[in-house]
């Protein structure tokens, strides 16, 4: 079964191992052979499943002690040496095709599936025996995804592992938990670490985000108990929020949640790189909306206050589309604010995300209209394949939301100004339109947007 390719691959494994550095990280060729032998034992379950699992646990431990080069070598062995046997597959496939249209088709299909079954997933599953087994495999996939960027031969392994993780992290197994100030400190510490949208500055900031007019929900897997998979932070308000700094102000008075009519999802963070491609974010929002409606029957509006992470990047690559958003009137106003035209180097810097303009009231006024227009164009028209270019837009529009409102100077942090000129967007989840929106979005790529936003984009 060791074809020419495999032996070439293995020599590359050895090479990588030879080049690898780090704390007792690089397996020698001898160690590699030992690993290979152990993997084979795992694959064959020699000595019974129980003892195999125990030995697999030791192998998992070995993996954890390897450095990146060693781990990649380890994973390549699994990927390249424990796949299906092409000849067996060919035979099963022949039988299958011959059976199509006859009553034997379904048995033949089952046989072909058996031939396709590789030992890779059998090996990986056995690692599940260690105490934090599920987390181990999720982290292993995160490694794998990194190596995969430059090593396409790992792809079959990645796809098998992704399929297994998709089965394990089926949304039916996930538990929705509300996080509060009574949650374990070790768990809240993870929220601080994982928050990817608006960094949490301190425990005081965190406590503020868990106040009586706030909610924080996370999905958990029963075997990763203190590890939130994805979490959302919600503010209960009287109106659509238009500024995130106001929302996060620790000194702002606590609102009366009982009187709120609007729930703003102002931060959603997925935490496990190793679960890329395993989707549950949309279920999280659905479950959270259900929970909020039960607790606060007055809530009528569910919307986000979202960043637009790709805006400035897009602008730098599509200067013409940006310029098209500037009218004659805009240029006049800009001239009085010290920007003398499209070629102005200062304007270039502004468009590239340099935040200094935000403290100049004249510039703030003059830039408002054209930049909001450019933003609307970006959100509604910039596509990758048929989907929105902006990843956050892709997520919410794919879930059936609509682009409700753009907010000027809504995130004046350096990050906010740097990635999106401080603009933020409210995506609105209108229960009556969600299903239609998802349908139109998936089938025709159509985006639902409020009239005001469409008007901006049209200019």
Residues 172-201 that bind a second copy (CB under 8 A): 172-173, 180-189
Residue 187 structure tokens: 């768990």
The answer to whether residue 167 forms part of the interface with a second copy (CB under 8 A) is yes
Closest CA to 272 of 168, 199, 198, 357: 168
What is the rounded CA–CA span in Å between residue 117 and residue 136? 23
Tell me which residues in 282-321 interact with a second copy (CB under 8 A).
282-283, 286
Measured from the CB atom, the residue of 164 and 368 that comes closer to a second copy is 164
Residue 250 in contact with a second copy, rule: CB under 8 A = no
* Contact assessment for residue 305 and residue 406, using Cβ atoms and an 8 Å cutoff: no
Question: CB of residue 45 vs a second copy: minimum separation in angstroms?
Answer: 8
- From 27, 32, 35, 128, residue interacting with a second copy (rule: CB under 8 A): 128
> What whole-number distance in Å separates Cα of residue 72 and Cα of residue 32?
12
Q: How many degrees, rounded to 5, is the angle at CA 355 between CA 330 and CA 425?
A: 70
Choosing from 48, 253, 345, 361, the residue that interacts with a second copy (CB under 8 A) is 48
Minimum distance, C-beta of residue 418 to a second copy, in the bound complex (Å): 29
- Site for a second copy contains 445 (CB under 8 A): no
Stretch that binds a second copy, among 124-132, 317-325, 358-366, 371-379 (CB under 8 A): 124-132
> Half-sphere exposure of residue 308, counting CA atoms within 13 Å on the CB side?
35
State the catalytic residue, choosing from 306, 327, 344, 413.
Answer: 306
CB neighbours (10 Å) of residue 223? Answer: 14
Q: How far is Cα 163 from Cα 113, in angstroms, rounded to an integer?
A: 15
Q: Given the complex with a second copy, which of 114 and 199 has the nearer CB atom?
A: 114
- Residue 331 as a binder of a second copy (CB under 8 A): the answer is no
Q: Pick from 154, 153, 159: which is nearest to 116 by CA?
A: 159
Cβ neighbour number for residue 319 with a 10 Å cutoff = 12
SS3 348: helix
Q: Which is nearer to a second copy, 163 or 329 (CB)?
A: 163
7 part of the active site = no
Q: Residue 446 in 3-state DSSP?
A: coil
Q: Which helix (H) or strand (E) holds 388?
A: strand 387-388
- 13's enclosing H/E stretch is helix 4-19
Q: Give yes or no for residue 254 binding a second copy (CB under 8 A).
A: no
Nearer to a second copy, 114 or 335 (CB): 114
Identify the bridge partners of residue 176 per DSSP, sorted by sequence position. 219
Distance CA 298, CA 295 (A): 9
Query: Nearer Cβ to a second copy, position 289 or 389?
Result: 289
Tell me the site size for a second copy, rule CB under 8 A. Answer: 83
Residue nearer to a second copy on the CB measure, 116 or 409: 116
- Of 64, 196, 352, 435, the residue at the interface with a second copy (CB under 8 A) is 435
**In the bound complex, what is the minimum distance in angstroms from residue 177's beta carbon to a second copy?**
13
Report which of 263, 261, 260, 268 is spatially closest to residue 231, judged by C-alpha positions. Answer: 268
Interacting span for a second copy (CB under 8 A) from 219-227, 335-343, 370-378, 413-421: 219-227
Tell me if 274 contacts a second copy by CB under 8 A: no
C-beta separation of 303 from 264 below 8 A = yes
Q: How far is the CB of 157 from a second copy (least distance, A)?
A: 8
Is 306 noted as a catalytic residue in this protein?
yes
**Residue 94 or 256 with smaller CB distance to a second copy:** 94
103 near a second copy, rule: CB under 8 A: yes
* Options 442, 445, 455, 458; binder of a second copy; rule CB under 8 A: 442
Q: In the complex, what is the shortest distance from the CB of residue 113 to a second copy, in angstroms, rounded to a whole number?
A: 6
Q: What contacts 395, CB < 8 A, 6 or more positions away?
A: 268, 281, 282
Phi/psi of residue 229, nearest 5 degrees: -85, -40
Q: Which of residues 372-401 bind a second copy (CB under 8 A)?
A: 398-400
Q: Contact 117/84 with Cβ under 8 angstroms?
A: yes
Map tokens 């639902």 to a residue: 448
Q: Contact region for a second copy (CB under 8 A) — 83-91, 371-379, 384-392, 418-426?
A: 83-91
Q: Which of 9, 119, 267, 396 is catalytic?
A: 396
Q: Name the residue nearer to a second copy (CB basis): 47 or 341.
A: 47
User: Rounded CA gap, 422 and 355, in Å?
Assistant: 9
Among 13, 112, 257, 389, binds a second copy (CB under 8 A): 112
- Given candidates 155, 298, 317, 455, which one binds a second copy under the rule CB under 8 A? 155
Q: Give the H or E element holding residue 424.
A: strand 424-429
| Beta carbon nearer to a second copy, 153 or 242 | 153
As measured in angstroms, the least distance from the Cβ of 335 to a second copy is: 48
Active-site amino acid positions: 306, 396
């Amino acid at each position: 079964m060791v074809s020419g390719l495999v032996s070439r691959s293995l020599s590359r494994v050895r090479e990588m191992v030879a080049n690898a550095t780090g704390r007792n990280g690089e397996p020698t060729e001898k160690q590699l052979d030992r690993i290979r032998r152990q993997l084979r034992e795992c694959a064959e379950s020699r000595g019974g499943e129980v003892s195999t699992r125990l030995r697999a646990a030791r192998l998992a431990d070995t993996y954890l002690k390897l450095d990146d080069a060693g781990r990649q070598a380890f994973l390549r062995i699994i990927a390249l040496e424990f796949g299906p046997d092409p000849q067996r597959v060919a035979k099963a496939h022949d039988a299958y095709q011959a059976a199509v249209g006859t009553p034997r088709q379904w048995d033949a299909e089952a046989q072909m599936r058996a031939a396709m079954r590789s030992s890779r997933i059998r090996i990986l599953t056995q690692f599940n025996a260690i105490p934090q087994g599920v987390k181990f495999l999720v982290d292993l996939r995160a490694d794998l995804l990194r190596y995969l960027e430059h090593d396409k031969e790992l792809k079959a392994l990645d796809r098998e592992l992704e399929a297994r993780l998709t089965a394990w992290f089926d949304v039916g197994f996930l538990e929705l938990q509300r996080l509060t100030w009574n949650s374990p400190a070790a768990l809240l510490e993870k929220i601080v670490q994982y928050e990817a949208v608006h960094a949490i500055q301190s425990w005081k900031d965190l406590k503020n985000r868990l106040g009586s007019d706030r909610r924080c929900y996370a999905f958990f897997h029963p075997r990763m108990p203190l590890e939130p998979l994805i979490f959302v932070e919600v503010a209960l308000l009287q109106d659509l929020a238009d500024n995130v700094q106001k929302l996060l102000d620790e000194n702002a008075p606590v609102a009366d949640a009982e009187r709120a009519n609007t729930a703003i999802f102002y931060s959603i963070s997925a935490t496990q790189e190793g679960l890329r491609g395993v989707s549950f974010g949309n279920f999280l929002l659905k479950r959270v909306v259900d929970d909020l409606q039960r607790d606060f029957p007055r809530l009528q509006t569910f919307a986000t206050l979202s960043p637009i992470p790709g805006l400035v990047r897009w602008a730098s690559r599509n200067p013409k589309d940006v310029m098209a958003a500037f009218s004659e009137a805009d240029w006049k106003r800009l001239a009085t604010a010290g920007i003398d035209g499209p070629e102005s180097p200062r304007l270039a810097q502004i468009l590239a995300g340099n935040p200094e303009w935000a403290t100049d009231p004249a510039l703030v006024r003059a830039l408002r209209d054209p930049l909001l227009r450019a933003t609307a164009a970006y959100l509604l028209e910039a596509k990758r394949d048929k989907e929105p270019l902006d990843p956050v837009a892709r997520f919410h529009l794919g879930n059936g939301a609509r682009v409700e409102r753009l907010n000027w100077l809504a995130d004046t942090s350096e990050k906010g100004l740097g990635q999106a000129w401080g603009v933020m967007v409210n995506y609105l989840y209108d229960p009556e339109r969600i299903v239609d929106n998802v349908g139109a979005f998936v089938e025709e790529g159509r985006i639902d947007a409020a009239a005001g936003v469409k008007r901006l984009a049209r200019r």
